[in-house]
Amino acid sequence: MRFDGGLNRYRERRWRSHQDLDEPGRPSRALLVALVLASISLITLDHQGGADSPVEPVRSAAGEVFGPLESGTAAVIRPIAAIPGWFRSHDSLRAELSALEAANAELRSEVATSGYDRNRLAEYDGLTVAAENLGFALVPARVVAVGPSQAFSRTVTIDAGSDAGIRPDQTVLNNDGLVGRVLRTTRTTATVLLIIDTGSTVGGRVGSSMKMGFLEGRGDVGDSGLLDLELVDRAEVPAKHDVVVTWGSDGGAPYVSGVPVGRVATVFSSIREMSQRAVIEPFVDFGALDLVGVVVPSGTRSDRAVIEADGSLR
């Protein structure tokens, strides 16, 4: 009795398992076998057919349908996939941008100061030529201050003093001509009295005649910064546009000889004094003084480079 009951339960389970294979919504065993055989047949035909495979039209049609979908999906996913790389390169891009901004600022600074640097180089070259032409050694110096107008004097301060071998009553010039003379010094600076000052008197010679006279300043700067010339020989009449150079002093102090001062602008007669006077336009632009040279004896000990009389540096 027990044996028959167990056998019946076994047969019932077997029957239910066969029923499950044929339930609605589940593929039957026969269908699965058919699909497998069809797949094997298609693979075999595709392999044997090569370029003329009967499956090729189906493959092309599928490519036309699904290709755009794949491209669109890739276009959508590509920016998202690139986000990690963007974060990795962000820091390097910021560093490159900072470097470019620094280089750009440096270029703008160079452009802004290129004219200034060219002018200074031209002035230095002019000092070298002046040292060769005049036969004197020069200590280059920069104008760092202008004397106050309240002092009723035309002076400037230069950044070279006794440590550079500069002493009072030495000639100061630039690449255009005579600037003035040294009044006083400290270890690192010197005060220069300009020839346009009303207290300045410079001995000069006029043109090829070499007639001597005295130049006095009017105290003005710029276009009105003129000099008055009175010749020693009162009967002599200077010609317009004649060039005036320094007469020179004993021992070269305060002025050495042969330094260009200016050009005769106008000539007029003084009936009361029975003499001829000339107005001299200086070669130097006193409103734009920058680099100057102080005449020193050759071989002077200096804390800076000295332009020797032959144009060499020492």
Tell me, what's the pLDDT at 3?
46
Tell whether the torsion through CA atoms of 111, 113, 116 and 118 is positive or negative. negative
Residue 174, judged by CB atoms within 10 A of its CB (0-12, 13-18, 19+), counts as buried
d(CA 255, CA 34): 122
Tell me, what's the pLDDT at 236?
79
Tell me, what's the pLDDT at 1?
46
d(CA 312, CA 314): 7
Query: What tokens appear for 140 in the block?
Result: 């280059």
Query: What tokens appear for 206 in the block?
Result: 């006029």
Tell whether the torsion through CA atoms of 146, 151, 155 and 161 is positive or negative. negative
User: Residues in the chain with pLDDT < 70?
Assistant: 1-28, 31-33, 35-91, 93-94, 96-97, 101, 105-116, 148-152, 270-275
- Considering all CA atoms of the chain, what is the largest pairwise distance in Å, rounded to the nearest integer? 171
Domains observed in the chain? 2-54 (no CATH), 130-296 (2.40.10.340)
Q: Write the pLDDT tens digit of every residue in 257-292.
A: 999 999 999 987 766 666 678 899 999 999 889 999
Q: Which residues contact 38 (CB under 8 A, 6 or more apart)?
A: none
Tell me, what's the pLDDT at 21?
46
**pTM score > 0.85 for this model?**
no
Query: What tokens appear for 107 in the block?
Result: 């270029």
d(CA 230, CA 219): 17
Query: What tokens appear for 18 in the block?
Result: 């066969």
Tell me, what's the pLDDT at 126?
86
Q: Tell the residue number behind the tokens 């000092």, with chain if given.
A: 127
Tell me, what's the pLDDT at 86?
58
